[in-house]
A and B are shown apart, each in its own frame.
Chain A
Amino acid sequence: MAKVKIQGHASGTGILTVTAPDTDVNRTITLPDATGTLLNSDGSAASLTAIPAANITGTLPAIDGSSLTGIAGRRNIIINGAMKVAQRGTSFAAAATGTFPVDRFKFNHSSIGAYTVSQDSSAPDGFANSIKIDCTTADASPGAADHLYLATTIEGQDLQHLKKGTASAESVTLSFWVKSNKTANGQVNLRDMDNTRIIANTYTISSADTWEQKTITFAGDTTGAFGDDNGVGLNVDFWFDSGSNFSSGAMPTSWEATATADQNAGTTLALADSTSNYINITGVQLELGTAATDFDHRSYGEELMECMRYYQICQYRIGTHSTNGTDLVWNYTCVPPMRATPSRAIVGGGSYSSTTVYYETSPWASVGTATSCALRASNFTHYGGATAMTGTFSGSPSAGDVISIFASGAPQAANYSYMELEAEL
């Protein structure tokens, strides 16, 4: 039989007392067959280490989530914030307003110089791409209505967690990396497109030609909820220059009704004033809360699928020559389904024009051309549908012939043609 021995410490004078609970039931406490220290005073579990995960069961206690670290759910509201996906091309000289240098980011300007906009390989550590806006024709004295900014848009149904228009409206924090030859201020606007409201702030580029990360927190707005729909809810605008129509007001640091004169009141960048000027932006993240967290990196495939809700390319297709003898007809399924019924266009490049399409008839023996091509407005939804293209066909295909319509190069290659589908906001 084992003996119980309690040995007082040689130098201690305190009395060790073991008390029994007030119970009439016999209790047995089994000590571990090992040497060590049991629980610390007041039940702290500090001495309990190396507990096998399998032994940790039960219900998690209700604890403050702010103490949890290393938990990375999806945080970034912005699509393609790392500028990875550029389906329309990677460089646009003398870019028109409405050009997308990468997916989801639209370049907007009006009579304020000329720019090459591109998906650029310059990027801060951890990123591979950025948008570059490079001034190629200067305009140091823009007209009153001239403007120059980059914008990305977010659907209202993807913004419901901001609780906008309620007493518990959430703050959001925008973070991004920027580089420019100029040291100056740029204004960033959040524009609520459902309720025509705006809030803004500026960032400062401190060092020329150096990547810097900027963070701006915007207060929540208790006025005006975002529609829970597929329409535009929020615009995020990066302003670079403008005429007085956009800069003669005051920068709205609190939510207010949108005033045109306020939209660029805080920018001192004047990107249009010299052909030496450029600006690069990447790592754009908009997230709930008042703190910027590390960038929410997603795979190229994830970003591409998100972008294809707004823009897709259909390059190769199998169809038939219609019985009316004037159409090529094929079916296209939008994967993923698009935001809304898309606009469609035939795009050509190199030796392929937008009105000439090459095709091959079964059994794939001869190549013909279809010239003067034009798409018909046919039965098509955001899920896809039938596409009919009129044209003048060489080789006299027969009605009902199975036809492969093709191009020799990938989009943006030397020779290409494809149908593009656009459902941007």
Chain B
Amino acid sequence: MVITNAKYHTNALSENAGIEATIDGKVWVIPLDLGNAHYAEILKQVDEGTITIAEAD
């Protein structure tokens, strides 16, 4: 899974509510849910140092 451009999204309370990332060429909005395979892979690659997640705008 090739993940690039990972960036947090915030909700109306300015809390991190999800991550926008390009995964295998497609832009996804990914929930912060460990049951979500995209999120689990993002955390794995963050742990491995392959990617970082940018703060929300």
Judge whether B35 and A343 touch: CB under 8 Å: no
Interface membership of B27, Cβ < 8 A? yes
B37 touching A424, Cβ below 8 Å: yes
State the majority secondary structure of interface residues on A.
loop
**A96–B36 contact, CB under 8 A?**
no
In the complex, what residue of chain B is closest to A229 when comparing beta carbons? B35
**Which residues, 342 to 376 on A, are CB-close (under 8 Å) to B?**
342-347, 354, 374-376
Q: Which residues of B contact A97 (CB under 8 A)?
A: 1, 24
**Smallest CB separation, B16 vs chain A (Å):** 8
Which residues of B sit under 8 angstroms from A98, Cβ to Cβ? 1, 24
Interface string of A333-345 (1 = CB under 8 A from B): 0000001111111
A339 partner, pick from B9, B18, B23, B35, beta carbons under 8 A: B35
- Contact code string A18-30 (vs B, CB < 8 Å = 1, else 0): 0000000000000
Known A340-B36, A377-B19; judge A345-B27 contact (CB<8 A). Answer: yes
Is B30 in the interface zone, CB < 8 Å from A? Answer: yes
Is the C-beta of B33 less than 8 angstroms from some C-beta in chain A? yes
Cα of A344 to Cα of B36 in the assembled complex, Å = 11
Closest residue to A232 on the B side, CB-wise?
B37
A344 to chain B: closest residue by CB: B29
A231 within 8 A of partner (CB): yes
Is the Cβ of A422 less than 8 Å from the Cβ of B38?
yes
8 Å CB interface, B14-30 against A? 17-20, 23-30
A341-B35, A342-B31 given as contacts; is B11 within 8 A of A347 (CB)?
Answer: no
Tell whether, in the assembled complex, residue A230 and residue B29 are in contact, meaning their CB atoms are under 8 Å apart.
no
Indicate if the CB atoms of A345 and B35 lie closer than 8 Å.
Answer: no
How many A-B pairs have beta carbons closer than 8 Å: the answer is 64
- Flag if B27 contacts A377 (CB, 8 Å): no
A-chain residues with CB within 8 Å of residue B33 when the two chains form the complex: 340-341
Question: Most chain-B CB neighbours within 10 Å: which of A97, A230, A377, A422?
Answer: A377
Partner of A375, one of B1, B24, B29: B29
In the complex, chain A residues 367-401 whose Cβ is within 8 Å of any chain B Cβ? 374-380
Interface residues on chain B, size class? 20 to 34
What residues on B are CB-neighbors of A347 within 8 Å? 26
Known: A339-B35, A425-B37. A378 touches B26 (CB 8 A): no
- Closest partner residue, chain A, to B29 (CB atom): A375
CA of A377 to CA of B57 in the docked complex: distance in angstroms?
Answer: 13
Question: Which size bracket describes the interface of A in this complex?
Answer: 20 to 34
Shortest CB-to-CB span from A89 to chain B, Å, is 13
Docked complex Cα distance between A98 and B28 (Å):
15
A377 touches B35 (CB 8 A): no
Q: A377-B9, A377-B11, A377-B17 are in contact. Are A340 and B28 (CB under 8 A)?
A: no
Closest to A153 in B: B37
- Contact of A343 with B28 in the complex, beta carbons under 8 Å: yes
Q: Which of B10, B11, B17, B31 contacts A343 (CB 8 A)?
A: B31
How many angstroms between the C-alpha atoms of A43 and B38 in the bound complex? 67
CB distance from B4 to the nearest CB of A (A): 14
Write out the residue numbers on chain A whose beta carbons fall within 8 Å of the beta carbon of B19: 377
Q: Which of A375, A376, A423 contacts B36 (CB 8 A)?
A: A423
Q: Which residue of B has the minimal Cβ distance to A419?
A: B29
A343 with B9: in contact, given A98-B24, A376-B29, A377-B17 (CB under 8 Å)? no
How near does chain A come to B45, taking the closest CB pair, in angstroms?
14
Known: A340-B33, A422-B38. A345 touches B18 (CB 8 A): no
A354 touches B27 (CB 8 A): yes
Contacts A342-B36, A425-B37; is A377 near B31 (CB within 8 Å)?
yes
Q: Is the CB of A341 within 8 A of B36?
A: yes
Listed by A's residue number, 20 A-B pairs whose Cβ atoms lie within 8 Å are A96-B25, A230-B35, A231-B35, A339-B35, A340-B35, A341-B33, A343-B28, A343-B36, A345-B26, A345-B29, A346-B27, A347-B26, A374-B27, A375-B20, A375-B29, A377-B31, A378-B17, A422-B38, A424-B37, A425-B37
Chain A residues in contact with chain B, CB under 8 A?
A: 96-98, 230-231, 339-347, 354, 374-380, 422-425
- Residues of B with Cβ closer than 8 Å to A? 1, 9-11, 17-20, 23-31, 33, 35-39
A98-B24, A341-B36, A377-B11 are known contacts; what are 6 more A-B pairs with Cβ within 8 Å?
A: A98-B1, A343-B38, A344-B28, A377-B17, A378-B11, A423-B36
